[in-house]
């Protein structure tokens, strides 16, 4: 018995007991006898209810039209700069040999008929190319502009600059872009996709910072959330949407 069935059995058992109590209180002196008789049949009655719920759930989930649609956020394959631990923003290197292999592996996770969107940077376009289907470019999914820090080894970024950056989402690296500015453009892009992902899968090939911003959007969280997330190269995050809102279904899925 799985967790869903245990919860269903517990809830149904409670409902049955309440119903027997109500029926007993509304009856005559036979209430006690009825309750005792109902108690004897409780296990069989509950099992029948759980069986019906399981059958309904199986039937519902097997219908293609009722499978949940997703926003799949794909971080591009590896570049040499990624392998070397460099800040990589608007610089535009190609994928490495490993990155091309990763992109080919990611293609297996693209749902049939999905709309494909990519950042205009080469590493994202080359990853999307590996999917073998047409895709469109959306500038709003481009990586954060690190300005003068672009290409700098992470270990060489001054500690006081990291402190300032992490403390203020409006902090702008010299000639760069703030997390708040990036978050604003990504949230607009996500808002525009919200209605679509209730009916159709959408795949966005992007970068670490926009993906973090999209996850924060799904969580109704602020731009500072970026500092509390880790997004691997060549990984997939999934965001679902239904009438109750958005939910993060996975993070850092890796193609085998």
Residues 196-207: pLDDT tens digits?
998 899 999 999
Are residues 87 and 43 both part of a single domain?
no
Q: Is the pLDDT of residue 95 over 60?
A: yes
Assign 28 a pLDDT band (cuts: 50, 70, 90).
Answer: very low
Tell me which residue range forms the domain holding 30: 3-65
Q: Which residues pair with 241 in a beta bridge?
A: 246
Q: Say if residues 235 and 212 touch (Cβ distance below 8 Å).
A: no
Alpha-carbon gap, residue 13 to 7, rounded angstroms = 10
Are residues 72 and 55 both part of a single domain?
no
Q: What is the pLDDT of residue 27?
A: 46
Q: What is the pLDDT of residue 238?
A: 97
Alpha-carbon gap, residue 107 to 6, rounded angstroms = 38
Q: What is the pTM of this model?
A: 0.75
Are residues 49 and 115 both part of a single domain?
no
Strand order in the sheet with 115-118: 136-137, 115-118, 202-206, 70-75, 235-242, 245-254
Q: Which residues pair with 240 in a beta bridge?
A: 70, 247
Q: Is the pLDDT of residue 59 over 90?
A: no
Are residues 20 and 112 both part of a single domain?
no
Are residues 200 and 77 both part of a single domain?
yes
Q: Is the pLDDT of residue 52 over 50?
A: no
Structural domain tally of the chain?
2
Q: Specify the residue for token string 């108690």.
A: 39
Are residues 34 and 72 both part of a single domain?
no
């Amino acid at each position: 018995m799985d967790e869903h069935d245990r919860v269903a059995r517990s809830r149904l058992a409670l409902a049955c007991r309440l119903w027997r109590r109500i029926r007993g209180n509304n009856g005559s002196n036979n209430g006690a006898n009825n309750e005792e008789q109902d108690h004897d049949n409780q296990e069989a009655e509950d099992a029948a209810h759980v069986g019906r719920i399981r059958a309904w759930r199986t039937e519902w989930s097997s219908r293609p039209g009722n499978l949940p649609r997703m926003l799949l956020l794909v971080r591009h394959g590896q570049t040499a700069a990624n392998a070397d631990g460099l800040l990589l923003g608007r610089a535009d290197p190609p994928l490495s040999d490993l990155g091309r292999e990763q992109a080919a592996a990611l293609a297996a996770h693209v749902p049939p008929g999905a709309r494909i969107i990519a950042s205009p940077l080469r590493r994202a376009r080359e990853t999307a190319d590996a999917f073998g289907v047409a895709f469109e470019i959306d500038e709003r999914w481009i990586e954060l502009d690190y300005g003068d820090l672009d290409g700098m080894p992470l270990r060489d970024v001054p500690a006081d600059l990291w402190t300032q950056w992490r403390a203020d989402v409006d902090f702008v690296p010299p000639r760069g872009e703030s997390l708040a500015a990036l978050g604003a453009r990504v949230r607009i892009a996500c808002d525009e996709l919200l209605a679509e992902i209730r009916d159709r899968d959408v795949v966005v090939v992007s970068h670490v910072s926009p993906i973090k911003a999209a996850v924060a959007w799904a969580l109704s969280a602020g731009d500072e959330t970026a500092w509390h997330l880790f997004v691997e190269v060549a990984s997939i995050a999934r965001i679902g949407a239904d009438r109750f809102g958005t939910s993060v279904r996975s993070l850092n899925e890796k193609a085998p």
